[in-house]
Every structure is written in C-alpha cells, then in structure tokens.
Amino acid sequence: MKNVDTLIESAAELAERGLSKGEIADELNVSRETASWLVERSGTESSTDTEPEPTVRETTSPQDIHVDWNAIGRDSARLTHVSQAMADIISKEGQDVRLTVGIEKAGVPLATIVARELDTDLSAYAPAKHQWEEGDIDELGGGFSRNFSPIEGQECYIVDDTITSGTTLRETIEAIRARGGEPVGCVVLVDKQGLEEIDGVPVYSLINVVSVGRDE
C-alpha cells in the first residue's frame, strides 16, 4: 500500500530524472499542486527549474486522491480488457466516429485499444501540463503528434486515464475544435470529479471517486 512518504520518494525520483512537475503529476495521477508539494517535500527540484525556490514552504498537503492503476497498466491482457470496457461505454455516442484521440502519456495505450475495438484511426495529444513547472499553465501550449492521424474534419472520441480537475480534457477539447475536429465523447478509467460533461462533451468513466467528509 502506498503512503505519502512513498509518493514523495517517487516524486523525487521522477524529478531527478528531469521530468517537469506537470509530467510528475501525470505519472502519479495527482493534481499539479499535489505534484509540486510532493517535489518540494522531497527537497528535490526537477532539472527544468530555472529559479531557486523559497526556503519556507507551506507544510499542509493539498486535498487530493492518488490513483495507482499499475496492476492494469503493467499487464497487456488486463489493459486490453479494461480498454474494451471503456470502448463499450463510449460507443453509445455514435457509430460514425472515425477517430480516437489519446492524451499522452497514459491515455495513448488505452486509446490504442479503444481505437481497435471501435475500428477508428488514432491520434495523440500532448497536453500543456507536460511543460509546466510553476505559474500560469495558460501561457503554455500542447500539441498533436504528427506520427498519428490528423484531426481536421473528424468527429472523435477522447481517451485518458484519470480526471483530476478536468483541465487537461478541457484543453484537449479546445485543441481539437481549434484544428477543425469535433469531440463527441470522453472516457477515462477514473474520474475524481464526477463530471458528466465538459464544454458540452459527455464524459464517461469506469470508476467515479467521491470524497466524503465533514468540513471542520
């Protein structure tokens, strides 16, 4: 069972490998704020940091839920079965869709199997958070890989592993529309927000995580 100390160690290891805080958030399936807190608690900064950080940090951890789906991701058969379930859920949005967009990194292997199940082409989107360290993420930009299918003129599904805040899915929806495509549905493994739609696009998940607590 992973605890906070284990996550701090993992964040330190990823930072030492040169990953940005946004990429660390993606790897650990936590928010950017949580990833930043974990790196800071470890006493390590990612190699892309250009400015020294203040020596005094807030010690209270952000409210977040860590999702570890390694037991699925490390086994191709399990990954296939789960992706088939995701394909079944999203297929209700129409039979004329000819493109599936996977959000890098973890969403792409899921999207590959979804695309095979639904007989669509495949595209891959790298979100802006992969470049993020500190400050306003709106100043950064994501992009589509040229190694995969183009977006223009295509209705498409969007596939990712985890919704933490919904920012990445919203960014992907906007990027698809900006390229002349039209997203008709999103599907993820785990949704921490319980979202039903983003910018008019339906959102489906295999698992919804609901935080139950009492305000002090």
Report which residue type is found at 102.
G
- pLDDT at position 48 over 80: no
In the three-class reduction of DSSP (H, G, I as helix; E, B as strand; rest coil), residue 105 is classed as: coil
Mean pLDDT across the chain? 83
Which amino acid is located at 112 in the chain? Answer: T
Task: Please tell me the pTM assigned to this model.
Answer: 0.74
Note the pLDDT tens digit of each residue in 118-156.
999 999 999 987 564 565 556 556 899 999 999 999 999
CATH label, 70-208, candidates 3.90.550.10, 3.40.50.2020, 3.90.1150.10, 3.40.50.720:
3.40.50.2020
Provide the pLDDT for residue 130.
56
Quote the strand ranges of the chain, DSSP E.
Answer: 99-103, 121-126, 143-144, 155-163, 182-191, 197-198, 201-208
* pLDDT at 54 exceeding the cut of 60: no
> How far is the CA of 156 from the CAs of 52, 200, 212, in angstroms?
42, 14, 34
